[in-house]
Amino acid sequence: MTNPSTPESRALVPLVIVGCGGFGREVHDVIDAVNSHSPTYDLLGYVDDNPASENLSRVHARGSRVLGDLGWLANAAPRVQYLIGIGSPAVKAKIDARMGERKTPKVVHPRATLGFDVRLSPGTVICAGSVLTTNITLGRHVHVNLLCSIGHDSTIGDHASINPLVAVSGDVQVGARVMLGTHSAILQGLTLGDDSVVGGAALVVKDVAAGSVVKGVPAR
């Protein structure tokens, strides 16, 4: 955190992370990496409705703090922006709805790779080592975790979460609030319906219906 009274901090975007659990602290790492490359954000701290004691100690150990609950953010100055550091797609959708018009940035780790015509929506978080090739669209509050790949002409719907080491092939349409488990792979040209879940290490070889859970090789 910077000193809010200095001219440098006033030029930065004031930012809060929602959720001080594991992914929230990983979002903190992404913000730190962005700032080390090009100072952009003044990270004020976290908000969390029910922070666990071990998470509080980890936040404090890195020199940050929990400012309050979501109500604190809802009542903060309009210029304070936020990023959701919670993996659950359903929870992300609820927080997004509650925050209304409050701004949320697009944050990309400097060690991620984005090709031509990759369109990011507000709230996007892309972690280190991920590769998005070309002509890709990501919806609001999409999380692309460590070392993922997303192929050409794919679309990822609002509030989807893509866990570490996921491979999304080209021309894949991922619906809203989808969860892709770590190490899962989606073959080319498939559609995953809204609110579906793909289990860890699953290989998806056919379309996935909305609201369904698939797992295994091939995924069923």
Q: What is the pTM of this model?
A: 0.93
Q: What is the CATH number assigned to the segment(s) 7-99?
A: 3.40.50.20
pLDDT tens for 82-106 read 999 999 999 999 999 999 999 999 9
CATH class of the 106-220 domain in this structure: mainly beta
What is the C-alpha to C-alpha distance for residues 166 and 213, in angstroms, rounded to an integer? Answer: 16
Q: pLDDT tens, 63-81? A: 999 999 999 999 999 999 9
Cα separations (Å) of 108 from 1, 29, 131, 217? Answer: 19, 11, 11, 31
All residues at 6 or more sequence positions from 99 whose CB lies less than 8 Å from its CB, including other chains: 73, 74, 82
- All structural domains of the chain with their residue ranges: 7-99, 106-220
> How far, in Å, CA of 141 to CA of 11, rounded?
25
Q: Is the pLDDT of residue 27 over 90?
A: yes
Kindly give the residue spans of alpha helices, DSSP state H, lying in the chain: 7-11, 22-37, 53-61, 70-74, 89-99
